[in-house]
Amino acid sequence: MGTLIRIAFRNVVRHKARTIISALVMTFGIAVFIFFDSALKGMDRITIDTMIDFSSSSVKLRTPGYKADERAFPLDKGVPDADAAADRVESTLRGSRATARGRFIGSLSNWTDEIPVAVTAVDPRRDGSVFPVGGHMASGSWLSASDGAANALVLGSELALELGVKVGDLIVISAQTAWENRNADEFSVVGIVNLPDPLINRGGAFVSRQAADRLLGSAGFATEIDVALPKATALERTLADAADAAASLGKTFPALDADPIGVLAEGYLAMRNMKSKFSSIMIFMVLLIAGVGIANTILMSMYSRIREIGVLRAYGMTPRDIKRLFTFEGLIIGLFGGTCGVALGCALNWFMVEYGVSLDALIGKMDLGEIPLGGTLHGEWSLSTIVFAFAFGIVVAWISASVPARRASKLEVTNALRFV
């Protein structure tokens, strides 16, 4: 065995150019594999974090009736006693923060144009502890507790642009009330937000729940309780924590449905799985090419050493030994390519983790539909991906070397010895 490996190793070293070329493809495949996986995980992280921070929160409590009718924005299927419920969430889950929000359809008018949007009614005293929207003001300020008494409005940056309003301007919001008639009132724009979530920039309008009550004729209007959990470092952990919290809240509030971020982001996660399937296929192709390269190299190696095979067989090596000899050669190339691939992949990944890639520069103003994606993309380290990529590369090398190695083992000794 030792001698077989020695012969294989020296042959690999002896034909440096051939070895390097076939190892290079393997290196490239594995490096890209590691890098892509990291980028995808980073994108997931941005997307999920953005959803948690600005729209979904970690766990959302709603009545089953509201959920069933969600698209109609019903006013009569909200969470009763929402403030007490939020308090109860915070005392049930250690370290959590909760706030009540209400959503209704309102028509925003600047006296020339009218734009229907889903207005979010928030509790200015607690909303900031769940949704850090106030940290992303383009101008003006976020709703304050004292704004409750006045009709104050915060708009998404693009919506404000579309309506042609700035901080200090007035907007009329008209809406269907809880009593089935329409009501309208003037709101003054106190702030404009620019969030990493383009959906909110395009259609976000925030008022206080008190103002909403005045407009809609309701009392304590709230359609959902949003819960923030302590931040976890790994995405998988974030999803698991939210699922656990939702399960426990489901028990505390039997009349409400508790949905964790994993469920709220279902659409995105499904798309991400497709995306990662697609990139897996791509990587698979690259490694397949690497495999063909290795197979070809071993075949060349075999043809240039047919007489040597004859000698080894004449001296009593079995066909199995010959097969091993050439398989080792492929494995050594794979090991070399794989190690370089892991090194290169980690180097690229280190750069992406440390410095990140600006997505705004990368995808510009590309419309990604429902998916909030922006800011700087940072990679994520994943040991399992690195180990998997390496192991997969070795397996590919092994399988592709086996084919010509098998052929070498089947040569007739007398023919091999006569070969010139």
Q: Which of 388, 302, 309 is nearest to 345 (CA)?
A: 388
Instruction: Name the minimum Å distance from CB 318 to other proteins.
Output: 6
Residue selected from 132, 220, 262, 319 as contacting other proteins according to rule CB under 8 A: 319
Residue selected from 315, 354, 364, 370 as contacting other proteins according to rule CB under 8 A: 315
Stretch that binds other proteins, among 16-24, 174-182, 309-317, 369-377 (CB under 8 A): 309-317
Instruction: Name the minimum Å distance from CB 333 to other proteins.
Output: 15
95 binds other proteins (CB under 8 A): no
Residue selected from 91, 248, 280, 414 as contacting other proteins according to rule CB under 8 A: 414
Burial class of residue 17, CB neighbours in 10 A (0-12, 13-18, 19+)? exposed
182 binds other proteins (CB under 8 A): no
Q: Which is nearer to other proteins, 6 or 231 (CB)?
A: 6
Q: Which is nearer to other proteins, 166 or 307 (CB)?
A: 307
User: Rounded to whole angstroms, how far apart are CA atoms 295 and 362?
Assistant: 38
User: Rounded to whole angstroms, how far apart are CA atoms 256 and 59?
Assistant: 12
332 binds other proteins (CB under 8 A): no
Buried b (16+ CB within 10 A) or exposed e, 62-80: bbeebeeeeeebbbebbbe
Within 10 A of 414 (CB to CB), how many other CB atoms are there?
Answer: 11
303 binds other proteins (CB under 8 A): no
Q: Which two tokens stand for residue 203?
A: 């259609």
SS3 62: strand
User: Rounded to whole angstroms, how far apart are CA atoms 148 and 145?
Assistant: 6
Residue selected from 34, 89, 302, 312 as contacting other proteins according to rule CB under 8 A: 312
Q: Which is nearer to other proteins, 7 or 403 (CB)?
A: 7
358 binds other proteins (CB under 8 A): no
Strand duo 137-140 + 182-193: pairing: antiparallel
Instruction: Name the minimum Å distance from CB 315 to other proteins.
Output: 5
User: Rounded to whole angstroms, how far apart are CA atoms 383 and 381?
Assistant: 6
Binding site residues, other proteins, CB under 8 A: 3, 6-7, 10-11, 14, 307-308, 310-319, 321, 413-414, 417-418
